[in-house]
Amino acid sequence: MDRTDCERLDAECKLAGCRARFSLPEGVLYFDGNSLGALPGTTASAIRRTIEDEWGAGLIRSWLDADWFFLARRAGDAIAPLIGASEGEVAVSDSTSVNLFKLAASLLRRGGAGRKVVTEAGNFPTDVYILEGLVDLLDRGHALVRADPARIADEVDEDTALVVLSHVDYRTGALHDMEAIAAHCNALGVPAVWDLCHSAGAVPVELNRWNVDYAVGCTYKFLNAGPGAPAFTYVSRAAIGDYRPAVTGWFSHAEQFRFEDGYRAADSINKCLVGSPPVLSLRAVIDGVATFDGVGMEELAAKSRRLSGLFIELADERLAEHGFALASPRDPARRGSQVSFRHPDAYAVARALIARGLIPDFREPDIVRFGIAPLYVRHVDIWDAVDAIEAVMSDGAWRDFRTDVREAVT
């Protein structure tokens, strides 16, 4: 395998053309699309149109004339096929953290007190913080359990009030068997909320087929919706009837513009909305999701697995001697769309790579993480990335960076 082989693989790749859907800077090897997706070529003009034509000229008429009022649902319907959901099951609003709060708060009001809330050790911190806060707020004597991610089913029993898991581990990229865990939870009647932040647009997810009732996820990672773009909430058609919103804002009301004195919940996924939508960001969600037009998730995931497999193969040959230990599963079926390595000087190494134009990120305590957004990452990028890592390690450039002092964002 050499760089020419990588060029050939790119030339043969059916998805190679998708890269042109993005506006990517020259000379940058971008491996952080799992933290902030790249800018789609159409987004800037879509937002400019929304500002100048819809806001500037249309003014308040645009709530109807430009569909602002329905954008949260339209964005949700655009995301739905990427996660195996159906029309009307996904809404876009707020952040993943807030959406998790809303779902978990609603579900934890059901059933008896003094039960277990099961999450996994090493779950993304905001998920755990939200659950800690909720257990405290609800004051029902529930106990938060951080289960071994490999033994979730052993921990979930009749005494469990709620399960909250991330489909893909943000550090290592390890993938849960969502279908099997969902079946276990369903058999016991235990509600489970799935965090799809590192799944949506990256790995196949079949929420309907796997009988999953609740999920949240963000749009600014693999879905390319831009910094701070609102997140999605999924509640299955089967579960929405019994779903009682815990945060009862006017956008979740059955007839919002009747301005009634009392609250009545909508009978749709609008139950998951709260207040006025971020219209500019919702435009960017729609354009971000449109970068997946005509692309099958299985095909995309197959490319992702080829790229991450190539990365691992080259790292085995050329990076192991520089102290990089693979942190991601070797089995492609158990791996999300990233490759992570442990390294004793991971933070300094990540800084040095960024200074050289190769952008991964660092995750505590010792992980250098390479996100692989298969819509725009090429085989040659993998080759060039391994070249760059080898160079930074061989010439000692990473020693110019401190490993003990962190920037505010890593």
The catalytically annotated residue of 19, 21, 171, 221 is: 221
Any catalytic annotation for residue 221? yes
Any catalytic annotation for residue 116? no
Any catalytic annotation for residue 376? no
Q: Which of 363, 296, 261, 286 is nearest to 47 (CA)?
A: 286
Least Å from the CB of residue 229 to ligand PLP: 9
Binders of ligand PLP in range 76-95 (CB under 6 A): 95
Q: Judged by CB under 6 A, which stretch of 120-128, 176-184, 206-214, 290-298 contacts ligand PLP?
A: 120-128
Which two structure tokens, joined as six digits, stand for 196?
A: 């799809």
Among 22, 101, 124, 292, binds ligand PLP (CB under 6 A): 124
Q: What φ, ψ does residue 364 adopt, rounded to 5°? A: -55, 145
Beta strands in 196-272 (DSSP E): 214-217, 231-235
The catalytically annotated residue of 22, 30, 124, 370 is: 124
Pairing state of beta strands 90-93 and 231-235? antiparallel
DSSP 3-state of 347: helix
97 near ligand PLP (CB under 6 A): yes
97 vs 236 by CB, closer to ligand PLP:
97
Q: Judged by CB under 6 A, which stretch of 66-74, 121-129, 268-276, 372-380 contacts ligand PLP?
A: 121-129
Among 195, 213, 361, 381, binds ligand PLP (CB under 6 A): 195
Alpha-carbon Rg for the chain, nearest whole angstrom, is 22
Binders of ligand PLP in range 212-251 (CB under 6 A): 218, 231
The catalytically annotated residue of 115, 116, 351, 369 is: 369
Distances in Å between the Cα of 211 and the Cα atoms of 140, 198, 309 are 28, 20, 30
Size of the chain in residues: 410
Question: How many CA within 13 A on the CB side of residue 17?
Answer: 5
The catalytically annotated residue of 32, 77, 94, 195 is: 195
Least Å from the CB of residue 198 to ligand PLP: 5
What residue type is assigned to position 8 of the chain? R
Q: Which of 351, 228, 244, 332 is nearest to 281 (CA)?
A: 228
177 vs 384 by CB, closer to ligand PLP:
177
| Strand partners of residue 362 | 368
126 near ligand PLP (CB under 6 A): yes
Residues that bind ligand PLP (CB under 6 A): 95-97, 124, 126-127, 166, 170, 195, 197-198, 218, 231
